[in-house]
Amino acid sequence: MCATEKNNIEREEVLHAPVMVDEIIANLSLRPEMIVVDATVGCGGHAGEILKRILPGGKLIGIDRDRESLNIASQVLKEFTSFNLVYGNFRNLNQILQSQNLKFVDAILFDLGVSSAQLLNPERGFSFRKEGPLDMRMDRSSCILAYDLINNLREEELSRLFWAFGQERYHRRIARFLIRARQKALITSTVQLAQVVTGAIPYCPRYRRIHPATRTFQALRIAVNRELEALEQGLKKAVDLLKQGGRIAVISFHSLEDRIVKRNFREGAASGKLKIITPKPLRPSQKERVQNPRSRSAAFRVAERL
């Protein structure tokens, strides 16, 4: 394969079709003149589809804590008008909207997890399939790297982390193997980490559907970026920033995230602030799962401000 072909394929992967677009469009009831927040704008895939529906007269605020993703989004969205891209964390949603002179908005979308641009860049350290440093920071200005956790936490702390954030069945064995490995040499790369984790898991489970290092990498990424804490804070603030009748929609990719969304929506309904639109999460169609494998684990929930 020539370099040009490879670059084109990689670019197509980065700018892949956003997940569950039809469901988002239908459930956010998008129309011209709406003000919409894409709290995890990423590479701009959802934002572009939203802008098509809210213009003329509408406005989109796209937020991300990854400056590289924002640079990509600015190029993807350059044909549109009336959008602002903001570097920040959605846990500070109220402050971000205040900086945009906005008190309330018509809709807010959260598309959680790691983006294709992050996964495909080995230097970001998110993927066990590519050799890279143990980084995993979504915001590269933050101080804690996956390297720091792997090489400094005690065995019991690693074990708890892998279970709490990855629900990894073999969390104790993996922690024990990592301690043994780092006694010989520091663990510095994604491939090195993946090899240690794979070696810790009994033979049969290694060859199941998902890679044996998947849950360990997920747990580290969540811990490095404090993702669940940010989600709790962001959801609570989002509800209070919606206009009456405004909708909040969340796409999550693992049960820990979905559990937080479900609980927050139920608490909002119990307090009289929200009406739950999706009692059970919507899932991607079979066609989308085939065309976009990344969508397979997606769960989509929607609620409306009362």
CATH number, domain containing residue 210: 1.10.150.170
What is the total residue count of the chain? Answer: 306
User: Quick one: 236 and 266 in the same domain?
Assistant: yes
111 shares its domain with 16: yes
Please report the pLDDT score of residue 221 as a whole number: 97
pLDDT tens for the 306 residues of the chain, in order: 333 333 333 444 444 578 999 999 999 999 999 999 999 999 999 999 999 999 999 999 999 999 999 999 999 999 998 999 999 999 999 999 999 999 999 999 999 988 878 888 999 999 998 899 999 999 999 999 999 999 999 999 999 999 999 999 999 999 999 999 999 999 999 999 999 999 999 876 656 778 899 999 999 999 999 999 999 999 999 999 999 999 999 999 999 999 999 999 999 999 999 999 999 999 999 999 888 888 889 999 999 999
Burial class (CB in 10 A: 0-12, 13-18, 19+), 55: middle
Residues 157 and 204 in one domain: yes
pLDDT score recorded for residue 206: 59
Q: Are residues 44 and 184 in the same domain?
A: no
DSSP state of 282: B
Rounded-to-integer distance, Cα 165 and Cα 222, Å = 7
Same domain, 59 and 88: yes
Q: Cβ distance 234 to 39 under 8 Å?
A: yes
Nearest to 220 by CA among 122, 135, 296: 135
Instruction: State how beta strands 242-252 and 83-87 pair.
Output: unpaired
**Are residue 63 and residue 131 in the same domain, yes or no?**
no
Q: Are residues 158 and 65 in the same domain?
A: no
What is the pLDDT at residue 295? 87
SS3 assignment, position 301: strand
pLDDT of residue 74: 95
Q: Where are the alpha helices (DSSP H) in the chain?
A: 3-14, 21-28, 45-54, 67-76, 93-99, 116-120, 146-152, 155-166, 171-184, 190-200, 203-206, 214-225, 227-240, 255-270, 286-291
- Give pTM, 2 decimals: 0.91
Kindly report the CATH number assigned to the domain that includes residue 64: 3.40.50.150
Pair (110, 245) in one structural domain:
yes
Q: What is the predicted pLDDT for the residue at 14? A: 41
Q: How many domains does the chain have?
A: 2
The domain boundary residue, chosen from 195, 225, 255: 225
Contact 69, 117 (CB under 8 A): yes
7 shares a domain with 100: yes
Among 225, 251, 272, the domain boundary falls at: 225
Structure tokens at 42: 């990423």
The pLDDT value given to residue 205: 62
- Full residue range of the structural domain in which residue 156 is found: 124-225
**Shared domain check, 217 and 240:** no
